[in-house]
Amino acid sequence: MEPLLQHLERFSEVLVVSSTTHVSTWDPATVRRALQWARYLRHIYRRFGRHGRIRRAMERRLHNRWWLEGGFGSSPVPGLTNFQALGHCDILLSLRLLENRDLGDAARHHLLQQLFPGPGVPDTEEEPLQDRLACLARRRSAVHLLCFYGYKENQNLPEDSLLKTQAEMLLERLQEVVKAEAEGPSMFLSSLWERLPQNNFLKVIAAALLQPPVPPRPQEEDLELGGPKTPGEGGQELVHWLLGKSEVMAVFCRHLPTGLLTVVASRHRELSRVYLGLLTDWGRHLHYDLQKGIWVGDESQDVTWEELYDRFQSLCQAPPPLKDEVVTVLKSCKAQDGDFEVPGLSIWTDLLLALGSVA
């Protein structure tokens, strides 16, 4: 077992190197050896993919390694990150080498010969590398064509295929990170938050929180190439992290569409409490402008009356128990303010009045 795991680690290193300038020292023989190695590991993947114990050992080693390498930050080009990657490690290697300008002419020529011997050349493998590379190219143009000519961003965000795919990937990584280290997910998510475009990240988080819970399949069955799998407990990790990061939660609740937030809140009770807390906070920042006759904020970044109203309205249209909770909160805030029935004195009174029969 240990020699095998060391093979994995060393190949992972090779994979990292294949993207660096170091490849300028590679000659055709090195290229050939690297490809053979990848082929061997792919064979291992197919052989032991359904063998629970060996597979788990390999997964652990790869997850730990990726984690220790700082997979959550510094290195832009990782080695092997998980077990599925093993299934197409030859493609990973080939594409990195092909795109690396520092690879010498002789080595490059040899690489192309190895990768593309030509149609009609018999291969011992049922799915030759050449065909799989061509299939990947074909799938990419398929995505491009469908995207360009048929795609329209789905208003129902969790159903949008781009967001859904990203959400699935995020959840898969979270599952792996959890296995590497218990505190892993929080650190991982925080680092992502620092590095990635936040707008998109927020939407992906929302989509991830709303992925349908799928019954866990036995791991042995999953040998398919590409495509993240079941969400599992990744969703719980997300919630845990959000609860610990109040500034993220504030942005999350402020910038995502109202309807989406309501659905998230219905699904995750702990988040709904934080959301309501934020809303009441924001509400308290508004004061009544006698001249204009409306509730306004002191600063420009304060929430407006309309926004507040929209959110509460949406929440009141959610199914119980969320709806009931919202109404209770509104009523208790109103009571704290003095339980006025007259408008203009307590924002909570006014909200309840405006919500009318909905509340």
Partner 1 sequence: MAQDSVDLSSDYQFWMGKLSVWDQASTLESQQDTCLHLPQFQEFLRKLYGALKEMDFNTVIERFPTIGQLLAKSCWNSFILAYDESQKILICCLCCLINKEPQNSEESKLNSWIQSLISHILSAFRFDKKEVGRFTQGLGYAPVDYYPGLLKNMVLSLASELRENHLDGFNTQRRMAPERVTSLSRVCVPLVTLPDVEPLVEALLTCHGHEDQEILWPEFFDAVNEAFLQKKISLPTSAIVCLWLRHLPSLEKAVLHLFEKLISSERNCLRRIECFIKDSSLPQAACHPAIFWIVDEMFRYALLETDGAPEVLAAVQVFTQCFVEALEKENKQLKFSLKTYFPYASPSLAMVLLQNPTDIPQGHWHQPLKHISELLRKIVEDQTCGSCGGPFESWFLFAHFGGWANTAIEQLLMSEAEPPAALLWLLAFYYSPCDGSQQRAQTMVEVRAVLGCLLRLSRRATLSARDLLAAAGEGRDADAGPGASALIRRLLLTFLLRVPGGRAIARDAVALMAHTDEITHEIIGFLDQTLYRWDRLGIEAPGAGELAKELLQELHAQVQQRM
34 residue type, one letter: A
Number of Cβ within a 10 Å radius of residue 172: 19
Candidate residues 52, 213, 226, 321; the one interacting with partner 1 per rule CB under 8 A = 226
Interface residues for partner 1 in 63-102 (CB under 8 A)? Answer: 66, 71, 76, 78, 81, 84-85, 88, 91-92, 95, 98-99
Q: Which is nearer to partner 1, 207 or 322 (CB)?
A: 207
What is the spatial distance between Cα 278 and Cα 265, in angstroms, rounded to a whole number?
A: 13
Q: Which is nearer to partner 1, 75 or 317 (CB)?
A: 75
- Determine the interface stretch with partner 1 among 152-160, 242-250, 282-290, 348-356 (rule: CB under 8 A): 152-160
Q: Which one, of 359, 287, 278, lies nearest residue 326 by Cα? A: 359
Q: Where are the beta strands (DSSP E) in 254-313?
A: 286-289, 294-297
Tell me: does residue 166 bind partner 1 (CB under 8 A).
yes
What's the distance, CA 187 to chain centroid?
14
Q: Which is nearer to partner 1, 98 or 354 (CB)?
A: 98
Q: Which is nearer to partner 1, 235 or 283 (CB)?
A: 235
Q: What are phi and psi of 262, to 5 degrees?
A: -60, -45
CA distances from 232 to 26, 35, 201, 237 (A): 42, 34, 20, 10
DSSP 266: H
Q: Which is nearer to partner 1, 104 or 343 (CB)?
A: 104
Tell me: does residue 168 bind partner 1 (CB under 8 A).
yes
DSSP 212: P
CB of 309 to partner 1, least distance (A): 24
User: Please, which residues bridge with residue 287 across strands?
Assistant: 296
Tell me: does residue 358 bind partner 1 (CB under 8 A).
no
Which residues contribute to the site for partner 1 (CB under 8 A)?
66, 71, 76, 78, 81, 84-85, 88, 91-92, 95, 98-99, 105-106, 108-109, 112-113, 116, 118-119, 130-131, 133-134, 136-152, 154, 159-162, 164-166, 168-170, 173, 192, 195-197, 199-201, 204, 225-228
